[in-house]
Amino acid sequence: MKLRRSVLYVPGNNQRALEKSHMLAVDCVVYDLEDSVSPQAKDEARDCVLWALAQENARGQEQIVRINSLHSNWVEQDVAVIKQAPVDAVLLPKITSVDDIYNYRKLFGPHSTYSPALWLMAETAAAVLNLSAIAAADSAVRVVMMGLEDLTMETQIKQTPDREGLLYALSACVMAARAGGLQIIDGVYTSLDDDAGFLNECTQAKKLGFDGKSLIHPRQVDVCNRCFSPTDEEMLWASEIVAVWEAKATAGHSVVVVNGRMVEHLHVIEARRILALANIVEYPAYD
């Protein structure tokens, strides 16, 4: 089980932010070569990202590089960076169909044995509608990242605090990801001075089934990690269920009652998932 609660984007040409990212308690860092880097700064960004990948990864963060779109003139040089400095995953933006996945593979050459894990941006209407097939096109796909800024631009969906207009796309992508055995990360929250709004959106994302959230700034990290970690209440629920189940299963029961609620084997699987997650989370002391 991989902990992917917090996934921080770092613009590839922002040297100070790259340095800073190594010190943050994020589970994953996305070194961005795409939209946060201007066309004039693409070369500089590749050099800076190579530098960042060469630094000691003391916190054991998962390191992902977001390359430019397959339809851009930059993508081949981006892939050359990845060939020089192995990464945990490549994040592929602006995809629309399974052909994108096949074309991405071609960039590594027919005899390449190097195959980093693949993360997919769900940020076009076509990607949302075709996500199951796209994700199934390559066994290296592990994670789906929602890209809501691009998606709302294309679809004219309005971003509101309750995200009413986005609920279909968010849930459709959760379904497709889970059907493919993948993890899925919600999009970014762009208001940097609205902590209450950010917490609300993280809470909603967790309810919708997301594993974590995309972040753009260090101030979002703690709230996000806390929100996507099992809560005390969830851990209590899980340990009670497992304890009762283990005691009763030996007596041959396949359905038991815990605190007045029916529990079957599937609930025990979920309870064990929560306990396993809690086991790998480092809980900071909060006041």
Q: How far apart are CA 82 and CA 85, in angstroms?
A: 5
Buried b (16+ CB within 10 A) or exposed e, 194-221: eeeebbbbbebbbebebbbbbbeeeebb
The answer to whether 120 touches 140, Cβ cutoff 8 Å, is no
Residues within the interface to Mg ion (CB under 5 A): 123, 147, 150
Subset of 188-247 contacting ligand COA (CB under 6 A): 188, 216-218
Among 3, 10, 65, 176, binds ligand COA (CB under 6 A): 10
68 forms part of the interface with ligand COA (CB under 6 A):
no
Residue 150 interacts with, from Mg ion, ligand COA, none (CB under 5-8 Å by kind): Mg ion
Subset of 102-161 contacting ligand COA (CB under 6 A): 149
Taking the C-alpha atoms of 59, 62, 68 and 74 in order, what is their torsion angle to the nearest 10 degrees? Answer: 70
> Residue 157 has what DSSP assignment?
P
Q: How many CA atoms lie within 13 A of 225 on its CB side?
A: 20
35 forms part of the interface with ligand COA (CB under 6 A):
yes
Q: Which residue lies nearest ligand COA, judged by its C-beta? A: 9
Structure-token pair, residue 67: 């390359």
Residue 202 interacts with, from Mg ion, ligand COA, none (CB under 5-8 Å by kind): none
Sole window of 13-21, 48-56, 71-79, 255-263 interacting with ligand COA (rule: CB under 6 A): 13-21
Interacting residues toward ligand COA by CB under 6 A: 8-11, 16-17, 20-21, 32, 35-36, 149, 188, 216-218
